[in-house]
């Protein structure tokens, strides 16, 4: 599969047999993009699920991410090989830098160079970044050249729409992938999203996914419920009006959920 599907299954916080079963369920209901990371500690389980799915490799889009502690010259390539071994794959479709490196001892230029090398030797078909600021995207484009970064995966949901970063990505033709699209369940309790959903006999989650597609934002929601996975995938039946889209746009209040101490200075 050459292009990233509009929606993938996120696996953050899923571990052990629960992670394996959730990915098995996701693939069985029709998901074709699975997103994992070295830091999640579940690449082996994701790999098991892909192997037992019966799907051919070319039908599945797999993303993983290099953790910031593995960005140095000694660890980078070894960590990628370890990820592939755990995933039981010869290549990933998309390899991301999970977080920009927070210190001064490893330069952006050096680890982006290593990222590009992974693609050049065929271990990743696309490369990208996650949690990068506008300034870091500018620098990355200077280092790698235009069109090299496939996506910037960022926290994005109705309450934190990250518009400046989204705009910067659009200008650079970098796809925007939203993690935590449901704001850790907060969308399910939002009156605006509930009332829009009621009009279409849809869940607030389906409303948010439909809004994201209309705004050209890719999404990787996470769920361990096969029913919810199937519901998420069926969001395409929800055709939001311009009025609905505007109402969701207006929910933005800059409420950031993910902000670890090693995070960059956000835009």
- State the binding site for substrate: 98
Q: In what order do the strands lie in the sheet with 9-10?
A: 9-10, 33-35, 61-66, 92-97, 124-130, 149-155, 175-179, 218-219
Element of type H or E holding 178? strand 175-179
Cite the annotated binding site by residue number: 98
Which of 40, 111, 150, 179 is an active site residue?
40
Burial (CB count <10 Å: 0-12, 13-18, 19+), residue 94: buried
Active site annotation includes 40: yes
* C-alpha separations of 137 from 159, 161, 172 in Å: 23, 18, 9
Residues 6+ apart with CB under 8 A from 237: 200, 202, 206
Residues marked as catalytic: 40
């Amino acid at each position: 599969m050459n292009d990233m599907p509009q929606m993938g299954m996120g696996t953050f916080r899923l571990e052990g047999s629960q992670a394996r079963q959730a990915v098995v369920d996701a693939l069985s209901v029709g998901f074709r993009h699975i997103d994992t990371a070295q830091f999640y500690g579940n690449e082996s389980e994701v790999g098991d699920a892909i192997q037992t799915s019966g799907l051919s490799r070319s039908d599945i889009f797999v993303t993983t991410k290099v953790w910031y502690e593995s960005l140095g010259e000694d660890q980078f390539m070894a960590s990628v090989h370890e990820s592939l071994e755990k995933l039981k794959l010869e290549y990933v479709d998309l390899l991301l830098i999970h977080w920009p490196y927070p210190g001064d001892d490893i330069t952006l230029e050096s680890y982006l160079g290593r990222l590009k090398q992974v693609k050049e030797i065929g271990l990743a078909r696309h490369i990208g970044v996650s949690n990068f600021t506008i300034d870091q995207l500018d620098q990355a484009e200077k280092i790698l050249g235009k069109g090299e970064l496939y996506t910037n995966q960022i926290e994005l949901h109705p309450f934190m729409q990250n518009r400046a970063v989204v705009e910067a990505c659009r200008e650079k033709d970098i796809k925007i992938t939203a993690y935590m699209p449901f704001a850790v369940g907060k969308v399910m309790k939002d009156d605006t999203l509930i009332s829009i959903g009621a009009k279409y006999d849809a869940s607030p989650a389906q409303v948010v996914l439909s809004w994201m597609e209309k705004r050209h934002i890719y999404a990787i929601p996470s769920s361990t419920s096969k029913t919810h996975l199937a519901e998420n995938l069926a969001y395409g039946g929800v055709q939001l009006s311009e009025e609905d889209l505007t109402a969701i746009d207006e929910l933005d209040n800059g409420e950031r959920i993910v902000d670890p101490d090693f995070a960059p200075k956000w835009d």
